[in-house]
Amino acid sequence: MKADIQEPVAISNPDLEAAYQATKSALSQRRCLILLGDCRVEYQGRARSVLEPGERIVLVKADGAVLVHRPTGGEPVNWQPSGCVFRTTLSEGALVLEAVRRSPVESLVIHFTEVRVLVAAKLVDAGSFSLHVSEKELQMAVLSEPRLLLPDLKPIAYEKKVEPGFIDVYGLDSKNRLVVAELKRVRAGKAAVLQLARYVEEVRSSTPMEVRGILAAPKIARGTQRMLATLGLEFIPIDLEKCARFIVSGRDKKMVEFLK
């Protein structure tokens, strides 16, 4: 039946010949393919690796991305980014799947000696994905509602370039002190403090104005509080929940772009 080609295929314990045919069919039709079984994996490219035989889950996606997953751990042990070219062969009692890509040249070769489950399916996925309160969105929220950071903050610029890097938020407070703020959406650590310190030092050396260095984050790592004080910087805790209410959309982002 022709319609079956579009239906998901799930085969338990196929022999290698059947797995080979199903794999070639799935790859040529750009369907997603899942192979579960005993395999050996070699990678050569930016680095080199060998994964000795064992049971893994191999996922080949519609765009040619490949993932080899062991039974544990969140990350694939081997992978290949999308856009691979495939070669499937049956040789010496093994199903060999080779995924090669250019730029950089790298190849992933998977030898299956046994396939326990094979799944092939054309997936339809048009659902939108939205991630909220990213660092960028936090920045936008603060720029559109500066009181989230300081009640009397007037932003002048954002991502202002200074020698060590970019100042997240740059502005003035009601006492005409320059405000140099570093925003972190997660707990601020030593690195954030040092980053801020470099910005503040640079700004202070370039103006006679008083400069406030502000580290704004949900919380601060233990022990870094003292470092902040030593460097004459301030920590301001921010409420991500509250900031989330002021996240600005793409269109509204343009409203603060003139600050740049």
Closest CB 63 distance from DNA, rounded Å: 10
User: Which residues does 17 contact at the CB level (< 8 Å), separation at least 6?
Assistant: 90
Residue type at 229 in one-letter notation: A
3-state secondary structure of 146: helix
**Does residue number 93 form part of the binding site for DNA (CB under 7 A)?**
no
- Give the whole-angstrom CA distance, residue 34 versus residue 143: 46
Restricted to residues 1-30, the positions that interact with its own copies (CB under 8 A) are 8, 10-13
Q: Is 47 in the site for its own copies (CB under 8 A)?
A: yes
Rounded distance, CA 150 to CA 256, Å? 17
Using the minimum distance from each CB to DNA, give the nearer residue, 172 or 189.
Answer: 189
117 contributes a contact to its own copies by CB under 8 A: yes
Phi, psi of 215 (to 5 degrees): -100, 115
Work out the number of other CB atoms within 10 angstroms of the CB of residue 57.
16
By CB under 8 A, tell whether 243 contacts its own copies.
no
Of residues 151-190, which lie at the interface with DNA (CB under 7 A)?
165-166, 185-187, 189-190
Determine the Cα angle at 190 with ends 75 and 229, to 5°. Answer: 160
How far lies 149's CA from each of 29, 34, 165, 184, 197, in Å? 53, 48, 21, 12, 18
79 belongs to the binding site for DNA (CB under 7 A): yes
Specify the residue, 23 or 80, whose C-beta has the smaller distance to DNA.
80
Binding residues vs DNA (CB under 7 A): 43, 45-47, 49, 65, 73-75, 77-82, 102-103, 106, 108, 131, 134-136, 165-166, 185-187, 189-191, 221-224
Binding residues vs its own copies (CB under 8 A): 8, 10-13, 32, 34, 36, 40, 46-57, 59, 61-63, 65, 67, 69-74, 77, 79-82, 116-117, 119, 121, 123-134, 185-186, 244
